[in-house]
Structure 1
Amino acid sequence: MPSQLRFGDEDFLRCRFAISPLWETQEAVRTLKRPDRHAYQAPWLRRIRRAAAGLDLASLWLLMPRRGHAPDWLGPPPIGPAATFEEEIAAVRASDPEAAREDTALSLACTPGAPDSARGRAWLADPARMITELADAVEEAWRVLIAPDWPRLRSLLEADVAFHSRRLAEVGLGTLLPELDPRLSWDGRTLTLAQHIEYARDLAGQGLVLMPSVFSWPDVITGFEPPWQPTLVYPARGIAGLWTEPGTRTPDALVRLLGANRAAVLSALDEPATTTALAHRLGLAPSSVSSHLTVLRDAGLLTSRRYGHQVMYERTPLGMALTAGAPA
């Protein structure tokens, strides 16, 4: 069944992008229990396995049903476009106990036996203590799982926001929204997500928060209930190359596939660059680099964007996957 978000006239003016370290922390915890999310996260999972084993995540996992409601108060939409984890966890700690109790009861009902478990009964009997316990668990998960890698994660998420902000300026909201993920469609007033959970909400003038996520992949997530601002969480661009360390040379397999110079051009694009910058970096003629860039772009491995008199090239997710997956 589909999920639908219905836009009114004012909602078109109140859409914004945001990133959330709190959300990434929650979804990283969820990913530990979701093998279907492990493909792109395997290097991270190997690295944090020992540290994660020292965490007590049972309380958080109890509120993360595979299908059903997760409490919005514990993983709310971001409070600003670039809020820090400290700001977000402070907002969680300030949650209204009675509202948190009702929200948590809905989540517990999605897991057989959870409402009658000792932990579930204790939470519902003392929601203020529940808020403290769960906020402490999330903060410890942040410290161990996410904080060491947050600069890298934030850079990827900010690059996604920058890319899609440019697309918004180029093509408008109606074209951008279905570009965020193939499961999204747009009919001029309603954004529809093809998924197994039926959900519908009128945005009612609140607009829509668009939030890229690393650890939510491959899911696209909606479903925040009032009074929370409607939010769409989608997989960020470039996840395939996130955990790959820069190589000291062009991978041999990529050279065999593309040829030495073309492979060198693709490998050199760790960040967006112009033809002139790449030519200088690689010691190649600008005309040769331009030719290689055209071929790589036509093959879907690069995108190009004009800024004033310059054209910047950057890898697509496919280009990232190729440079990440080829052994040296």
Structure 2
Amino acid sequence: MTLRIHFTIEDLARTRVAQAPRPLLEVGMALWMLRQPACVGRFGTWQREAFKRLLPPVRKLAVQHPWTGETPEFMLTPTGAETPQEALEIVSATPVKQVQTQVTRLANRYPTTLDWTRRLGVARGALRQYNDLLRVIHEQVITPYWPQIDTLVTAERAQHMQRLTEHGVESLFAGLDPRRMRWTPPVLELAYPSQVDVHLGGRGLLLIPTLLGGPFIGVDFFNTDDAEPQRWLSFSVHHAQQFLSPPSPPAPGAPQSLSALLGRTRATVLWAISQHPGCNTTQLARRAGIATASASEHATVLRSAGLTAAARHHNMMLHTLTAAGHSLLSASA
């Protein structure tokens, strides 16, 4: 099955990359993942840690969240809000009729005996209680990782914008999710659960990074600037799993085998980037215990060898590992 997003020239001109993940989109993904059987691989550690962090009553509500395959649109779509407080204020003000329409549609698809879901579309107090659930989940299983998430997303967004500036929209789309996205002008094709064609109608597309999900198409019903709301598409942040694990004590340093291969200082620089992806050159120098000029030189060599990547953010270079760099570190561990 394929999702086909059709672009016009106007759509391409108005397509942009959001500067940060959207709080409630992450909460929606978190609710979905908390209801799944034990995760393996990328998100297994995060899921186990999330259950530990949630208090039993909240954990029970999260697991009993009735809509297995979907989340109400009014919860996901305030894409202009960049803080959970702002997003929840917007959601709290959602017209009851709009909430009722979406809840009824979900209740028809996913029948439930939970009384609070029926009241959600009728009583404003029930919506406030639902907001409290979303707020607590964000605070307990998303917020602890947010500073690292912000660093990673800033670095990755800079890379995407560099691709767009230097190589055009085809390079931008190809870099978002090479395994699942394909640009066949003027259509962006994605693997999807159903066959869907979406025409953007000249309003463009908002690309939103997500830590816990993959490609997902939505509509911002809270965008009132235009007669029709703008579509948005989420995409997975690369190396997100590094920040979805509990903090670990700092490693003693680069493995000896890596130092023997690259030299002690260069191995230390590579190791420091692996431990602090998205760090700038000054931070890298401090963590490697060397001068900034030396850190810049070693980072340039590692980048030329394809072991790291760098993206410019304002007047800084932000450094991350490439797949080759991860493979080398894994092999030498």
TM-score by length of 1: 0.79
Give the equivalent residue in structure 2 for 1:149. 145
2:193 aligned with 1:193: no
1:220 to 215, 218, 235: 215
Give the equivalent residue in structure 1 for 2:225. none
Gaps of 5+ in 2: 222-227
Q: Residues 141 and 285 of structure 1: is their aligned pair in 2 closer, same or farther, counting only changes over 3 Å?
A: closer
Q: Residues 261 and 57 of structure 1: is their aligned pair in 2 closer, same or farther, counting only changes over 3 Å?
A: same
Give the equivalent residue in structure 2 for 1:268. 272
Deviates more, 1:168-177 or 1:244-253: 244-253
Give the equivalent residue in structure 1 for 2:106. 107
Give yes or no for contact 2:3–2:190 (8 Å, CA) kept in 1. Answer: yes
Give yes or no for contact 2:156–2:237 (8 Å, CA) kept in 1. Answer: yes
Give yes or no for contact 2:259–2:267 (8 Å, CA) kept in 1. Answer: yes
The alpha carbon displacement at 1:175 in A equals: 2.2
Which letter does structure 2 place at the counterpart of 1:186? W
1:47-84: CA deviation from partner (whole Å, max 9, x where unpaired): 44332143145368535423xx421101115115xx21
Give yes or no for contact 2:219–2:232 (8 Å, CA) kept in 1. Answer: yes
Seq. identity, %: 25
Give yes or no for contact 1:95–1:131 (8 Å, CA) kept in 2. Answer: no
Task: Name the CA distance, whole Å, in 1 between partners of 2:10 and 2:230.
Answer: 14
Task: Name the CA distance, whole Å, in 2 between partners of 1:257 and 1:110.
Answer: 58
Give the equivalent residue in structure 2 for 1:16. 16
Q: Residues 28 and 255 of structure 1: is their aligned pair in 2 closer, same or farther, counting only changes over 3 Å?
A: farther
TM-score by length of 2: 0.78
Q: How does 1:238-249 map to 2 (within 5 A)?
A: 238-242=239-243, 243=245, 245=248, 246-249=250-253
Task: Name the CA distance, whole Å, in 2 between partners of 1:123 and 1:284.
Answer: 56
Which letter does structure 1 place at the counterpart of 2:308? L
Give the equivalent residue in structure 1 for 2:83. 84
Give yes or no for contact 2:206–2:230 (8 Å, CA) kept in 1. Answer: yes
2:168 aligned with 1:172: yes
The alpha carbon displacement at 1:282 in A equals: 4.1
The alpha carbon displacement at 1:215 in A equals: 1.4
Give yes or no for contact 1:254–1:326 (8 Å, CA) kept in 2. Answer: no
1:229-260: CA deviation from partner (whole Å, max 9, x where unpaired): 21111111231432465434224565477664
Task: Name the CA distance, whole Å, in 2 between partners of 1:204 and 1:257.
Answer: 54
The alpha carbon displacement at 1:27 in A equals: 1.9
Task: Name the CA distance, whole Å, in 2 between partners of 1:287 and 1:154.
Answer: 23
1:245-293: CA deviation from partner (whole Å, max 9, x where unpaired): 543422456547766454223113232439x959x94479959955x85
2:119 to 119, 122, 141: 122
Give the equivalent residue in structure 1 for 2:75. 74
Task: Name the CA distance, whole Å, in 2 between partners of 1:311 and 1:136.
Answer: 39
Give the equivalent residue in structure 2 for 1:52. 54
1:157-195: CA deviation from partner (whole Å, max 9, x where unpaired): 222222212221111223211220021111222211122
Task: Name the CA distance, whole Å, in 2 between partners of 1:262 and 1:42.
Answer: 32
Give yes or no for contact 2:4–2:187 (8 Å, CA) kept in 1. Answer: yes
The DSSP-based 3-state class of the residue aligned with 1:247 is coil
The alpha carbon displacement at 1:207 in A equals: 1.3
Task: Name the CA distance, whole Å, in 2 between partners of 1:139 and 1:129.
Answer: 15
Give the equivalent residue in structure 1 for 2:65. 62
The DSSP-based 3-state class of the residue aligned with 2:189 is strand
Which letter does structure 2 place at the counterpart of 1:3? L
Give the equivalent residue in structure 2 for 1:303. 309
Q: Residues 139 and 297 of structure 1: is their aligned pair in 2 closer, same or farther, counting only changes over 3 Å?
A: same
Task: Name the CA distance, whole Å, in 2 between partners of 1:43 and 1:86.
Answer: 27
Give yes or no for contact 1:238–1:316 (8 Å, CA) kept in 2. Answer: no
Alignment size in residue pairs: 315
Deviates more, 1:94-103 or 1:190-199: 190-199
The DSSP-based 3-state class of the residue aligned with 2:234 is strand
Q: Residues 211 and 287 of structure 1: is their aligned pair in 2 closer, same or farther, counting only changes over 3 Å?
A: closer
Which letter does structure 1 place at the counterpart of 2:150? R
Give yes or no for contact 1:300–1:319 (8 Å, CA) kept in 2. Answer: yes
The DSSP-based 3-state class of the residue aligned with 1:109 is helix
Q: Residues 43 and 110 of structure 1: is their aligned pair in 2 closer, same or farther, counting only changes over 3 Å?
A: same
Task: Name the CA distance, whole Å, in 2 between partners of 1:107 and 1:119.
Answer: 14
Give yes or no for contact 1:238–1:317 (8 Å, CA) kept in 2. Answer: no
